[in-house]
Structure 1
Amino acid sequence: MKYSSFVLVLVLTAGLAFLVSRPFGQIPPLAPLLDPYHGFWQNSFSEDQLAEDELSMNNLTGPVEVVYDENLIPHIFAQNDLDLYRAQGYITAKHRLWQMEFQTMAAAGRVSEIVGPIAIDLDRMTRRKGLAFGAELGFKFLQEKDPETLSLVEAYADGVNQYIAQLTDARLPVEYKILNYRPEPWSAYKSLLLLKYMSDMLVGDRDLEYSNLRKILGEAGLNRLYPDFPKENDPVIEKERVWDFQPVTVNKPDSIAYPDDALTMGVLPQPTEGTGSNNWAVSGSKAKNGNPILANDPHLSLNLPSLWYSMQLSTPEHSVKGATLPGALGVISGFNEHIAWGVTNATRDTRDWYKITFKDDARNSYKYGSEWKATDFRIEEIKIKGEKAFIDTVVYTHYGPVVYDRTFKTDRQDVNFALRWVVHEGSNEQRTFLMMNKAKNHGDYQAALDHYSAPAQNFVFASKSGDVAMRIQGKFPLKWAQQGKFLMDGADPMMEWQGYIPNEHNASTLNPPRGFVSSANQHPVDPSYPYYVFDHTFEHYRNRRLNRRLTELNQITVEDMKGLQFDNYNLQAAEALPVMINLLGTHQVESAEAEKYLNELKSWDYFADPSKKGQTLYSIWFAETAESIWRDLMKNEVPLVRPTNYQTIELMTGSPNDPIFDIKGTDRIETAASHVQIGFDSLLVAMKKWEVEEGDYSWANYKKTTIQHLVPTFKSFSATNIYTGGGSGILNATGSRHGASWRMVVELGETMQAFGIYPGGQSGNPGSKFYDNFISVWANGEYLNFNLRSKEQTEGVLFKTVFKKD
């Protein structure tokens, strides 16, 4: 205990020293922070040292038992749902309170209350996007249409608040002590806000960039460099799927006038490259034991505390286990006694931008067809720690909030753009997961998904009865071809969405003949699907590697599925590197360094294992080559998005002498080979610098995977330089800051066999041994046994707590 306290002192001292040197709000009073009875010393205990055999809790109808296993995973046993979710709220808050509150304050645009004026622009942007507005509509939706779900969400909030009410200064999470504030009461609204926050993390749009590209390249040039479908399309739903429904008719205008004068509008933050996921399920016919096997590994930012918190939730009617989101009810990715399910991001364009023409500077009305529609004004009071509040006025149209206007993020006075987003419509995603937790068959799975709107997800499914399925679920606007790809004129009623694709028409498959279903953020369908589908971020490599392996494999075991989640094969490199080496020719290979690097590349097996040097060399060489190819295009002083790596390699391979490779302003005509050579020269420069400063250029040392605390400046609470492989476009998609945030494999036999792991630990307390104890297990591609357990089991029990009604 003394050792852990000493380490924590060093950690906090480093953190405080950094805070003093940065404009990060007010420094907390040191006396309370250093108080041995209430300060940070009290955060040096692990949870098993503070275990309580019995606790009183208000509003319970019966006793609730919580059994913690050796990894601090709680198994909650209650007699009914209200008691179950009340206890879930209490237990989650007990271990992740600061994280829960911090994430919802970020979602509400309230970070400035904690850290001061440094976060004001972040808060303004969050509020102007309308996340809180969307959560308010979600809360109203539950009040009016689903009071049963609302009662469960309120029970969860009650559990959180009962924990907060008994929280002493000594037990206060250390982040509150450092940042000098206290938790506020939880609410059902905050749980809904958290789910809107997930939508914001996972949904992007490039309407502005594509509008600029259309103006610069023209229609033909844009379609050539940015095709809607790749040459080799291996979609989520198998190509053989027959769409056996009559699609809803979508009317396209005879003529379309796009806004052409807004090339400098601001750009919303986009999901970071590397964010994605894999999921799949194989049927019993392909499995050694004759049982379906399901796997899921969402790829998100790697943070501490982890995004996920593992739990088992049990009543006499059901038992479910898996990954929960602190702040939300139930299990998000997991299994019960009958089924298993998992999620990946469906990467669909559900955010569109409309140019608003106001009648005058008062902005009380805007043009819509031959009329003027009235606006609404939402006053946003942003409280700032240590300063007076900032008042922001956001104009709302029937499309949504005017995010960009004369007051925010633009150097023009005539730019007004409203955001249309399904998040701004009432929905009930929480009900989806509550129903899925209890589902017994494919019909139950379908019924649960009918309540789900955003963010769009690929829901994989498997059941003990033998079914495997995939459904791409979200509230998808009905659009004519190309609608929403570019900025639209809000004054033209023909630019409106024409409703939504019916749930029963959302792309799905059940027990396909190939014997598996899978998704890896690729195109959802092939061109035969009768509705317009677009996104700018579809994956082109992980999906093909995954489907090839699932096709090749037979007599599949759980170990095979674990290996596939940790698969480091770089398909992009396998397709691009031979082309690059051929185009390089003999350029610069006379130097010893060039010869060494080239030989390492030629002998590389395309696996991005942590010890491999070829992966490091390839990643630098390809990045520098692509940068050289598209430098002329990206020089345009307006926001643009570069062609995909897939399209870049396709051009290098099939059209190496294409005029697209010629560099403007030079005396010669450049080809793909010219850029490959420029990229190789840049590789030599980069490696010379790296070998002098760092030495070792094995892949793990080069990419330096870091699991970062949610407050980036709290570096001492982060885990750095984790020795693991993988990377972007690889099934084990572990980059420097992103990767598999949760891995789960379930075999659905007579007795469920489940395994799971995530990069962190159950505790949100940096002073606990359970804060980051999963990281080495995760980094090595290993798993915890994740089977369902009964409350009578004694093996591996860390401690038990019984809640009794007060």
Structure 2
Amino acid sequence: MKYVSFILAAVLSVCLAVAVSRSIGSIPPLAGLLDPNHGFWQNTISEDQMAEKELELDNLSAEVKVIYDEDLIPHIFAQNELDLYRAQGYITAKHRLWQMEFQTMAAAGRISEIVGPVAIELDRMTRRKGLAYGAEKGLEFLSQDPQTLALMEAYADGVNQYIDQLSNATLPVEYKILNYRPEHWSPYKSALLLKYMADMLMGDRDLEYSNLRKILGQQMLDKLFPNFPEDNDPVIEAERVWDFEALPINTPDSANYPNDLLVIDPLPQPEEGIGSNNWAVSGTKTKSGRPILANDPHLALNLPSIWYSLQLTTPEHSVKGASLPGALGITSGFNQNIAWGVTNATKDARDWYKITFKDESRSEYKYGDGWRKSELRIEEIKVKGEETFLDTVIYTHYGPVVYDRTFRSDRQDVNFALKWTAHEGSNEQKTFLMMNKAKNHDDYNAALDNYNAPPQNFVFASKSGDIAMRIQGKFPVKWEDQGKFFMDGADPQMEWSDYIPFDQNASTLNPERGFVSSANQHPVDPSYPYYVFDNSYEHYRNRRLNSRLREMTDITVDDMKALQFDDYYLHAKEALPVLLGLLDESKFQTDAAKKYLKELKEWDFYADPNQKAPTLFYIWWNKTTGKIWKEWYEWNAPVVTPNYYQTVSLLENEPESAIFDYTGTETVEMAKDHVNLAFEEFLEAMADWEREEGDYSWANYKRTSIKHLVPQFASFSVDNVYTGGGRGILNATSERHGASWRMVVELGDEINAFGIYPGGQSGNPGSRFYSNMINRWAKGEYIDFSLRSIEDTQDALFTTTLK
């Protein structure tokens, strides 16, 4: 068996080497990969097989004990915070070093150093967005907080001590395949990681909305893209009374927007499917009389997993949950007194400004009646196997000029600067350090006062019975529609005039309805005194969640687990009757058409993995929207189409609207024409699927996969995970996105906590802890996540003492 494993490892190494060489044009040294003493074989050993009872770690003031449970989750017991975070850095690096470094190199625009010229354009765009610049500003801001900086330096020291102990044999396998070595960690890299997350979660459609305003006119744009939907069930309950005096809003007499169609490529946006759910129910609605909190962030399903679970304990506090490898503390979790979780607060926090330079030197740009000095930042992009690539980025007082002629010669002659709160100095790390030790609602608020970006909905519950929600971020005060379109940077009236005071950010404490919740929907109703806008508000998960929480009583932890795994497809429930009502069934009398229609009509609207109707609806709906908005895709400028909620509304309430008519045909098309043509294409697609694949059950069609961070490393991925759910569903598991972490916590005298994520604690693909939680996650199962005491070593996998 040993020789079989070795041969398999050797073959896998060669296959990966070939795949990498095709992508990056550089073959790693195969002799080293296949060396049984130092190569890939050494990465097939699981952590418990290499367990060490004692390890020496410099700069500790006292011993630190680390107890690993059966899933390799470490419970770190230290006598003080400096030792605690030094140990966290060491232990996290021990299991996730390559992931930590790869993500921060991506944030810094340094992937070309690893893979060569194929990544130059990616690195250029990352640098032009200013992620590294934002991290530098964050580090400058951190210099004012020596206590937090000292903890970050302790964490970095722990990481670096692990790096310095690495031999060629113990080097993570990705370094061996890509043929490079890790560099030392620093607080700057931890700051970069948080900017990486901000970029992952933030988007804007200023470019597309500017084009739509030019093509459609303001009136039609407002009709198809309203600021508030008809069914607005916001994060903060609509009954909330805003008992503060809002800052004045200086609305200009007229807004200066660029008038031409913008044919430049938009920035990459957060991938569809990124979102989250969180909620808390008060003791008045639970069977135990205790609050229960739940959180499930929806992100890309990647390996190594986005999250790394652990417990951090000192004599003063004990906290457990999910951490971001590379950041200190717990990001979503609980301690002895409170629990908290996060979801993305989709709220426009970055805007674009057209810059008018004085001359070709671009050393000055127009502002009001005069000219302002610009700054040049030379970006040196090191490229593996080639000379360093130099890129010049101009910085204005708004921010970096992302788009200009030097970026790509075929771009429109425009200069657009990006203003983004992530470029401004802030200390998000302090938020989580304080939250980890928080004891009550006041502590929770004090922690959030340090948090700027990316905007998040922070849910809260405490042993004392409080539940709360606060939408936290640094939000500019805007006049209506400000930031929805590209603005003229030469006009001072287009500036952000101020920021909403943190104590006026939308929040709620112990609402009468007995619960708080968020699912990336509108944060507030129209009574909130500040302009609120984003291009990506969610319209289905939130309504399903709130309707269930309103009607539920005697709620248990198991009820909350089931709600996180709820497969009810509200979008289909609202859209399918409309499609069927517009379909001329007399035209579709084949056996296949009758079979599919029967399955659709009998569907209970649950997208469970064995159901077939979700596949039928999904294909038909996508064919329909493709028909409806076909001409929009053909316009010679980037645009976005109305969302599903608005499209269903048009189909149902205005089926003969001119919006459905193609301008290039003699006939007048209506909604029914698109629906029927789409059904024809749906039948063709289904015939192809049944002929080639056969089974069209939802899990087999959706084919959820959990991919390695380097897509070419297919052997390090897990494909065809059998699970239900989908976009717009509480169990938001689509092809490549879903609940990256599920947590349910009941806050009583004894805290009951449960968690799971789609992966494993180890970053080593050869470890049995690399993907061991995926099957349980796919079934909606959890592991007991309760706090462990230092004396509790029963059923421990192994214990390591750091001396």
TM-score by length of 2: 0.99
Q: What is aligned with 2:132? A: 132
* Displacement of 1:682: 1.2
Q: How does 1:524-603 map to 2 (within 5 A)?
A: 524-603=523-602
The gaps in structure 2 that reach 5 residues or longer are none
* Displacement of 1:384: 0.3
CA contact (8 A) 2:281 2:516 kept: yes
Quickly say closer, same or farther: Cα 1:6–1:333, change in 2 above 3 A. farther
* Displacement of 1:670: 1.7
CA contact (8 A) 2:14 2:30 kept: no
Q: How does 1:659-674 map to 2 (within 5 A)?
A: 659-674=658-673
Q: Which moved more, 1:5-14 or 1:667-676?
A: 5-14
* Displacement of 1:10: 3.7
Q: What is aligned with 2:341? A: 342
Q: How does 1:133-212 map to 2 (within 5 A)?
A: 133-143=133-143, 145-212=144-211
Looking at structure 1, the residues matched to 71 and 46 of structure 2 have their Cα atoms a distance apart, in angstroms, of: 12
CA contact (8 A) 1:284 1:466 kept: yes
CA contact (8 A) 2:214 2:260 kept: no
Quickly say closer, same or farther: Cα 1:483–1:575, change in 2 above 3 A. same
> What CA deviation, in whole Å up to 9, does each residue of 1:261-318 have, x standing for no partner?
3511231110001100000000000000000000000000000000000000000000
Return the letter of the residue paired with 2:98. W
Q: What is aligned with 2:16? A: 15
> What CA deviation, in whole Å up to 9, does each residue of 1:107-150 have, x standing for no partner?
0000000000000000000000000000001001111x211100
Looking at structure 2, the residues matched to 439 and 585 of structure 1 have their Cα atoms a distance apart, in angstroms, of: 61
Q: What is aligned with 1:773? A: 772
* Displacement of 1:495: 0.4
Cα-Cα RMSD: 1.0
Quickly say closer, same or farther: Cα 1:790–1:4, change in 2 above 3 A. farther
Q: How does 1:182-581 map to 2 (within 5 A)?
A: 182-261=181-260, 263-409=262-408, 411-412=410-411, 414-581=413-580
CA contact (8 A) 1:4 1:767 kept: no
Q: Which moved more, 1:675-684 or 1:191-200?
A: 675-684
CA contact (8 A) 2:261 2:637 kept: no
* Displacement of 1:82: 0.2
CA contact (8 A) 2:18 2:27 kept: no
Looking at structure 1, the residues matched to 6 and 329 of structure 2 have their Cα atoms a distance apart, in angstroms, of: 35
Q: What is aligned with 2:42? A: 42
Secondary structure class of the residue paired with 2:388: strand
Looking at structure 2, the residues matched to 193 and 587 of structure 1 have their Cα atoms a distance apart, in angstroms, of: 60
CA contact (8 A) 2:109 2:122 kept: yes
> What CA deviation, in whole Å up to 9, does each residue of 1:473-502 have, x standing for no partner?
000011110000000000000000011100
CA contact (8 A) 1:522 1:538 kept: yes
* Displacement of 1:29: 1.0
Return the letter of the residue paired with 2:193. L
Secondary structure class of the residue paired with 2:426: coil
Looking at structure 2, the residues matched to 242 and 451 of structure 1 have their Cα atoms a distance apart, in angstroms, of: 25
Secondary structure class of the residue paired with 2:382: strand
Looking at structure 2, the residues matched to 802 and 580 of structure 1 have their Cα atoms a distance apart, in angstroms, of: 63
* Displacement of 1:13: 2.9
> What CA deviation, in whole Å up to 9, does each residue of 1:583-612 have, x standing for no partner?
103253211111111111111110000011
Looking at structure 2, the residues matched to 10 and 300 of structure 1 have their Cα atoms a distance apart, in angstroms, of: 32
* Displacement of 1:5: 4.2
Return the letter of the residue paired with 2:230. K
Q: What is aligned with 1:612? A: 611
* Displacement of 1:4: 4.8
Looking at structure 1, the residues matched to 255 and 723 of structure 2 have their Cα atoms a distance apart, in angstroms, of: 50
Looking at structure 2, the residues matched to 487 and 632 of structure 1 have their Cα atoms a distance apart, in angstroms, of: 24
* Identity score, percent: 69
Quickly say closer, same or farther: Cα 1:180–1:225, change in 2 above 3 A. same
Looking at structure 2, the residues matched to 710 and 450 of structure 1 have their Cα atoms a distance apart, in angstroms, of: 33
Quickly say closer, same or farther: Cα 1:5–1:238, change in 2 above 3 A. farther
> What CA deviation, in whole Å up to 9, does each residue of 1:753-793 have, x standing for no partner?
00000000000000000000000000000000000001111
Looking at structure 2, the residues matched to 305 and 588 of structure 1 have their Cα atoms a distance apart, in angstroms, of: 50
Return the letter of the residue paired with 2:54. E
Does residue 29 in structure 1 map to residue 15 in structure 2? Answer: no
Return the letter of the residue paired with 1:43. N
Quickly say closer, same or farther: Cα 1:410–1:593, change in 2 above 3 A. farther
Looking at structure 2, the residues matched to 413 and 564 of structure 1 have their Cα atoms a distance apart, in angstroms, of: 49
Looking at structure 2, the residues matched to 500 and 410 of structure 1 have their Cα atoms a distance apart, in angstroms, of: 37
Return the letter of the residue paired with 1:121. E
Secondary structure class of the residue paired with 1:32: helix
The gaps in structure 1 that reach 5 residues or longer are none
Looking at structure 1, the residues matched to 249 and 31 of structure 2 have their Cα atoms a distance apart, in angstroms, of: 66
* Displacement of 1:667: 3.1
Matched pairs, number: 802
Looking at structure 2, the residues matched to 625 and 317 of structure 1 have their Cα atoms a distance apart, in angstroms, of: 59
* Displacement of 1:11: 2.9
* Displacement of 1:14: 2.5
Looking at structure 1, the residues matched to 700 and 104 of structure 2 have their Cα atoms a distance apart, in angstroms, of: 34
Return the letter of the residue paired with 2:102. F
* Displacement of 1:7: 4.0
CA contact (8 A) 1:5 1:767 kept: no
Secondary structure class of the residue paired with 1:702: helix
CA contact (8 A) 1:25 1:117 kept: no
* Displacement of 1:795: 2.0
> What CA deviation, in whole Å up to 9, does each residue of 1:519-545 have, x standing for no partner?
000000000000000001000000000
Q: What is aligned with 1:113? A: 113
Looking at structure 2, the residues matched to 114 and 397 of structure 1 have their Cα atoms a distance apart, in angstroms, of: 31
* Displacement of 1:711: 0.2
Return the letter of the residue paired with 2:781. E
> What CA deviation, in whole Å up to 9, does each residue of 1:425-475 have, x standing for no partner?
100000000000000000000000000000000000000000000000000
Looking at structure 2, the residues matched to 429 and 712 of structure 1 have their Cα atoms a distance apart, in angstroms, of: 30
CA contact (8 A) 1:236 1:518 kept: yes
Secondary structure class of the residue paired with 1:340: strand
